[in-house]
Amino acid sequence: MDPLTLMRIDEELDSSELAALCFLCGDVLNRKYLETINDGKELFIRLEEKGLLDNSRFLSQLLETISRSDLLRLLEADSRRRERSGEPQTDASPLLSDYRVMLYRIYEDLTKENLEKMKFLLNSKLGKRQLEQCTTALDVFAEMERARLLSSSKLDELQRILVECDCHLKLMVQKYMRDSSVSQYQHIHPIRNPDLLPRSTSHVINRQRDSNSTESLLLNLAISETQLPSEPSLEPREGQSLYSDADVSPPLQNWDYYSLVHNPRGTCLVINNEQFTGEGLRDRAGTQEDEKALRDVFGRLGFKVDVRNDLTADAIRNALDELGKRNFIEADALVVCVLSHGEKECVFGTDGQKVALRELTRPFTSERAATLAGKPKLFFIQACQGSGYQRGSMPCPPKPLGGEAAGRPSLEEDAGPVQSELVPSDADFLIGMATVGDCKSFRNTSTGSIYIQALCKQLLKSAFRNDDILTTLTFVNGEVSRGEYMNFKQMPEPKYTLTKKLVLTLV
């Protein structure tokens, strides 16, 4: 980014705005660094070192949050200049943390009187000396984080205080908890009426009522209506419970579905590449949140999860070859998740070397892994697949069918050409891609990637409803495609040669 533009922005920032920017960067910059920053230039240097100013999008989010539209216009002019000069643009700008934006909105709306009330209520937990040094709500939030009373997944104390200060501000926290892609893993209410759950879920609960894990199971299963991100397809109608008889799938037919009879179901291998030594590849902040979500969800679905961190290209191949040589007689399925940088038809090892997508699946074909023959093999790839961005378009209204269209509908490629070599010719494979070919995928540096977080959320929802995996991935497509990420879109793409329906349920 142009240093002159950054200098002009620095000159326009007052001390309170600089403090706000530093607070908003709390998830992408080290707290010790932030405490030493005295002006905007120092902040921009730190962000540049992290690769967060390779384009203007992250800084735009910061300035938009603090309502400095005049400075946004400076950035837009700088972006247009860079485009005209042909300077390369990068993809994976991090998304500003929704958690920090929520706290900033509370700070904006908190009156001086309520700030003093907040400090009084925290006096026994933070100490008088620390609170005396807090002149704004952002200072109080920073102290609460330092004392581990507040985080993106720990909001109980903040809610307790806001109830006494301003109930409107408490609603901001509740909205964040509903909308957050990770809220369902952290904020779960107990079941008030087990009869409102699907029959299959109630059966699991009744069967395990006397086990030591019953209480934990109940808590984990009972996701309340207010905690689920709003989706038209899941909203209850008037006078109808969230889980009604209409939501229950019909009885499963054995001949129609893959058999899931073992516990554990099989292995879930997660290859999580965060730190890269390859030239031009930055570290992938936020990927640990994806790893945690995958470990949690597939653990609940009955898989033994094996996580491998920071593998080179050769190490990835070796790990997959080693896994393919195992005996899968006592397994029902296999899951492989790869979290890394990528290009079209490949992912990168930490050394910057490429591993073709076909190489990921080859060790598990029927010829090489005979004990996996006829069993589902699921691959989920979180990586960019090119350097392009996806933009949104307004859909055209449907036209009445007539003439040639009614008798002989034409065929079109959907969301770009599908490369047949990416899907093995052998049966029973599924590859879930974070994005279509030639395009980039997005990752939040504090809460994880858009695709993996949506996938984990939908897998849990589908476990309650007996949805098959293709229905689940359709919901993932819908959720991700509805979002807007730095003014761009993202479209996941599943590819499969499954021969039966696969329904993953909780064990």
Angle at 58 between CA 389 and CA 346, to 5 degrees: 40
Q: For tokens 């099989």, what's the residue?
A: 266
Q: Find where tokens 């899931």 sit.
A: 260
Q: Is 341 among the catalytic positions?
A: yes
The pair of three-digit structure tokens given for residue 39, joined into one six-digit string: 């002006």
Q: Report DSSP state, residue 353.
A: -
Choosing from 187, 341, 439, 456, which is the catalytic residue?
341
332 vs 325: CA distance, rounded Å: 16
Closest CA to 393 of 502, 489, 466, 476: 489
- 271, 340 Cβ separation under 8 angstroms: yes
To the nearest 5 percent, what fractions of the chain are helix, strand and coil?
45, 10, 40
For residues 481 and 490, give the distance between their C-alpha atoms in angstroms, rounded to a whole number.
Answer: 6
C-alpha distances out from residue 275 to 139, 288, 324, 350, Å: 32, 11, 26, 7
Q: Which residue in the list 165, 384, 439, 456 is annotated as catalytic?
A: 384
- Sequence-distant (≥ 6) Cβ neighbours of residue 92 within 8 angstroms: 282, 384, 440, 441, 442, 443
Structure tokens at 254: 């054995």
Q: Is the dihedral of CA 454, 456, 457, 462 positive or negative?
A: positive
H runs (alpha helix) in 89-166: 98-109, 112-121, 123-126, 128-132, 137-146, 156-165
Q: Per the omega criterion (within 30 degrees of 0), is the bond before 264 cis? A: yes
Is 187 labeled as catalytic in the residue annotation? no
37 three-state secondary structure? coil
Q: Which residues pair with 272 in a beta bridge?
A: 309, 339
Q: What are the residue numbers of the active site? A: 341, 384
